[in-house]
C-alpha cells in the first residue's frame, strides 16, 4: 500500500484530537499517510483488529471502551499487560502487538516539561485517582523507579492498585496533606477539574518544590494547576500527556523521531 493508514478505535471517537495531532506530524515529515477514526460496535473489536491487519493498517490507537478488551486480541507487551490496558496497536511486525503509551507519555511529559533538576528515579510521587488513568500513570512512575503514593476517594481502590504496583502505597484523599509535604511530584488522574472549577487537592497542601501535572486538559488551566502556580510549583498541563502518548505511538509505528513541536501546535490550537 502506498499510503500508510493509522487510526483510532473507540466508541465514541467524535471529539478526538488524535487525527489533527498525527496528521500534523505526517505533513511536517512529508509522510504519505492518513489518521482515521473508527467506531466499531463494542462486540466487534476482534473482527475490527483482524480486518485492520488484513487491510494493511500500520497502527491503531485504542480508547474507551476497548482498552482492556484489546489485551485479548493482540500480543500485549509486559507494561500493557501489567496495566491491563492497550492504547496502541502496532501492525508492523508478524502479528499485532499491544502497548500502553499513556504510561510512557505521562513520564515523558514529566521529564520534558518539568524543571531539569527533577529526577524521577527515587522521586516521591503522589497520584490522585485509581481509575484507568491512575493505573497507567502509577505503573509508569514505578517503572521509572519513583516511590508512588496513590490517593483515591474510594480508598479501597487505592489499596487494590497499590498491591499491584511496585513500591506503591494506597491512601484515602484525607492523607494528601501529609503525603504532599515530602513529595516531589503530584499527578491528578481523577476527572475532578474537568468542565468545573474544582480540585481534588487542598490548595494549602501544595508547595513550591512540587512538580504538579494534571491529566485533565479541558480546561488546560485547571484550578489545581492555578493553585500550584500560586505557590511557585512547576506545572505540567494535561495537553502534554495527550501529546506525548501520541508522540510515543507515532515513534513506535514509524521508527522516526516525532516532530513534537508541530504535533503540539496542532493539539493546542484546538484546545
Ligand atoms: P479514568 O479512566 O479517566 O481514570 P475512571 O476509571 O472512571 O476514569 O476513574 C475516575 C477517577 O476519578 C477515580 O479515581 C474516581 O474516584 P473513585 O474511584 O472514588 O470513583 C475519581 N473521581 C471522580 N470524581 C471524583 C470526585 N468528585 N472526587 C474525587 N475523586 C473523583
**ipTM of the modeled complex:** 0.98
Contacts of 69 (CB under 8 A, 6+ apart): 45
Q: 37 C-alpha to center of ligand 1: Å? A: 26
Report the distance separating Cα 147 and Cα 105, nearest Å.
Answer: 18
Closest CA to 101 of 87, 115, 113, 89: 87
Say whether 67 is catalytic.
Answer: yes
- Average pLDDT in the chain: 97
Res. 2: pLDDT tops 70: yes
pLDDT digits (tens, 9 = 90+) for 11-39: 999 889 999 999 999 999 999 999 999 99
Which of these is catalytic: 67, 82, 99, 223?
Answer: 67
pLDDT at 258: 98
Q: Which domains does the chain have, with CATH numbers?
A: 4-99+241-268 (3.40.50.10860), 104-236 (3.40.50.720)
Report the distance separating Cα 38 and Cα 55, nearest Å.
Answer: 14
pLDDT digits (tens, 9 = 90+) for 112-127: 999 888 999 999 999 9
Report the distance separating Cα 13 and Cα 120, nearest Å.
Answer: 33
Which cell goes with 178? 501529609
pLDDT digits (tens, 9 = 90+) for 197-209: 999 999 999 999 9
Which DSSP category does 88 fall into? E
Tell me the β-bridge partners of 124.
147
pLDDT at 3: 94
- DSSP E strand stretches across 123-269: 124-128, 147-152, 168-172, 185-188, 211-214, 234-236
Chain centroid offset of residue 131 CA: 12
Check the annotation: does 35 bind a ligand. Answer: no
Which DSSP category does 207 fall into? -
Cβ of 101 below 6 Å from ligand 1: no
Contact (Cβ atoms closer than 8 angstroms) between residue 70 and residue 10: no
Pocket test for ligand 1, best of 139, 191, 201, 214 (most atoms within 8 A of CB): 191
Contact (Cβ atoms closer than 8 angstroms) between residue 191 and residue 219: no
Report the distance separating Cα 187 and Cα 214, nearest Å.
Answer: 6
Check the annotation: does 154 bind a ligand. Answer: yes
Contacts of 58 (CB under 8 A, 6+ apart): 4, 5, 6, 33, 91, 92, 253
Amino acid at each position: 500500500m502506498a499510503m500508510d493508514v493509522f487510526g483510532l478505535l473507540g466508541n465514541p471517537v467524535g471529539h478526538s484530537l488524535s487525527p489533527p495531532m498525527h496528521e500534523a506530524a505526517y505533513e511536517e515529515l512529508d509522510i504519505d499517510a492518513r489518521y482515521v477514526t473508527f467506531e466499531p460496535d463494542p462486540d466487534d473489536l476482534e473482527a475490527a483488529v483482524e480486518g485492520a491487519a488484513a487491510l494493511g493498517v500500520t497502527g491503531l490507537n485504542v480508547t474507551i471502551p476497548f482498552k482492556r478488551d484489546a489485551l485479548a486480541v493482540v500480543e500485549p507487551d509486559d507494561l500493557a499487560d501489567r496495566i491491563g490496558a492497550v492504547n496502541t496497536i502496532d501492525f508492523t511486525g508478524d502479528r499485532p502487538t499491544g502497548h500502553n503509551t499513556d504510561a510512557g507519555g505521562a513520564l515523558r511529559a514529566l521529564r520534558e516539561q518539568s524543571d531539569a533538576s527533577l529526577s524521577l528515579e527515587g522521586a516521591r510521587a503522589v497520584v490522585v485517582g485509581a481509575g484507568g488513568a491512575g493505573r497507567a500513570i502509577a505503573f509508569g512512575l514505578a517503572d521509572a523507579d519513583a516511590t508512588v503514593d496513590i490517593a483515591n476517594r474510594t480508598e479501597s481502590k487505592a489499596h487494590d492498585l497499590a498491591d499491584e504496583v511496585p513500591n506503591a502505597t494506597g491512601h484515602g484523599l484525607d492523607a494528601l496533606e501529609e503525603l504532599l509535604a515530602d513529595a516531589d511530584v503530584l499527578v491528578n488522574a481523577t476527572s475532578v477539574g474537568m468542565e468545573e472549577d474544582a480540585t481534588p487537592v487542598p490548595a494549602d497542601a501544595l508547595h513550591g518544590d512540587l512538580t504538579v501535572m494534571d491529566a485533565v486538559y479541558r480546561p488546560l488551566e485547571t484550578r489545581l494547576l492555578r493553585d500550584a502556580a500560586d505557590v511557585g510549583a512547576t506545572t505540567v498541563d494535561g495537553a502534554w500527556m495527550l501529546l506525548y502518548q501520541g508522540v510515543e505511538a507515532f515513534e513506535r509505528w514509524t521508527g522516526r523521531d516525532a516532530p513534537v513541536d508541530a504535533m503540539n501546535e496542532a493539539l493546542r490550537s484546538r484546545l
